[in-house]
Chains A and B, each alone.
Chain A
């Protein structure tokens, strides 16, 4: 059943006991007793399937009220992964952003069957574009823009590489946008569906953008990697697209992987397979329209890319 088909009071009751949330690549057992969370979850994950019957989960996540006098007085909550505290207690009002952070942490720290990158990925015509780079480089903003301009969202924040193929595995979840990026995407894609605004977080104002319908309809369909792009948003600078050598691109992947160093030789082989297939580019852009157009052109120049355009 889909979350949107469950009455809100029933959903709150189910979540106290636990549900199995299917995001594409992973199934997570979710349970909480924090009232602030149900509304935001129902709104942002409306179109995701959940199961109440037992399934084999990849992770167990719980968000619970933090105990201890001061935490209770301050209305704090705490996240648990597989029964262990994941982060220090946080204000209960930020339970939804912390749930998202906890789900990311699960993937970053507990998944070893894929090589995982701090990145975003979209797909068109069966070809995946990986947007890679440090926090603040604008990759989530660009990922959100592409996901509303003819590309399918594969995942944001963490990208999963299955070495066999190779394939970028889909795991579409809400995109976390901050501050100015919220205004930019609202202007670019009026149809974009945002959840509530969380103000005063350590990263400023955060809003979560719902994954578009197409992303959820193909939540278990991956794509072959074709391009790796490092975007950087420069409001006053000229647009620039620069090809990078494959070996330097490989090192980029290494630097932005969260688990390459645990994969050893198999990680090296997986990244080699990805590098063989991909072109690497640095993209500086001053507005989202020009960045989307530049990536469209790169895609269309790929073998067979024009037909898929």
Chain B
């Protein structure tokens, strides 16, 4: 059905995000900033506190957008409102583009 697809990203609205497991990501955090080594690409990335926390959530368990927003709101001690949900979508897009996470549609 059309309503189940995010037209902007061309993927189902329902599904789970998970950290890419091929080879295992390595990361370090200093003062809230993260550096992450992706063995699949050989690249190293700098992540800010919010992107780093989202990645930490997904390294601990696969999660959907709502759950991730919930966890991030708790961590940053901010309201889980529409602006946070938008920010989470942008972070997920960025992490996916870097090859650090992947999306699995719910069957």
A interface with B by C-beta (< 8 Å): 245-248, 250-251, 254, 260-261, 264-265, 268-269, 272, 275
- Across-interface contacts of B29 in A (CB, < 8 A): 247
Q: Which residue of B26, B35, B39 is within 8 Å of A250 (Cβ)?
A: B35
- Across-interface contacts of A248 in B (CB, < 8 A): 33, 46
A247 touches B33 (CB 8 A): yes
A246 touches B31 (CB 8 A): yes
User: Do most interface residues of chain B lie in helix, strand or loop, or is the interface mixed?
Assistant: strand
- Across-interface contacts of B37 in A (CB, < 8 A): 264-265, 268
- Across-interface contacts of A275 in B (CB, < 8 A): 28, 30
Q: Nearest 4 pairs between A and B by C-beta? A: A247-B33, A246-B30, A268-B37, A250-B35
A-B CB contact pairs (8 Å), 16 listed: A246-B31, A246-B33, A247-B28, A247-B33, A247-B34, A248-B33, A248-B46, A250-B44, A250-B46, A251-B35, A260-B44, A264-B37, A265-B37, A268-B26, A268-B37, A275-B28
Q: Which residue of B26, B35, B39 is within 8 Å of A247 (Cβ)?
A: B35
B33 touches A265 (CB 8 A): no
- Across-interface contacts of A254 in B (CB, < 8 A): 44
A265 touches B26 (CB 8 A): yes
- Across-interface contacts of A261 in B (CB, < 8 A): 42
Smallest beta-carbon distance A144→chain B, Å: 31
The complex places the Cα of A275 from the Cα of B35 at a distance, in Å, of 11
Known pairs A268-B26, A275-B28; A245 contacts B42 (CB<8 A): no
B39 touches A264 (CB 8 A): yes
- Across-interface contacts of A272 in B (CB, < 8 A): 28, 35
Q: A245-B30, A248-B46 are in contact. List 12 more A-B contacts (CB 8 A).
A: A246-B30, A247-B31, A247-B34, A248-B33, A250-B28, A250-B30, A251-B35, A251-B44, A251-B46, A264-B42, A268-B35, A275-B30
- Across-interface contacts of A269 in B (CB, < 8 A): 26
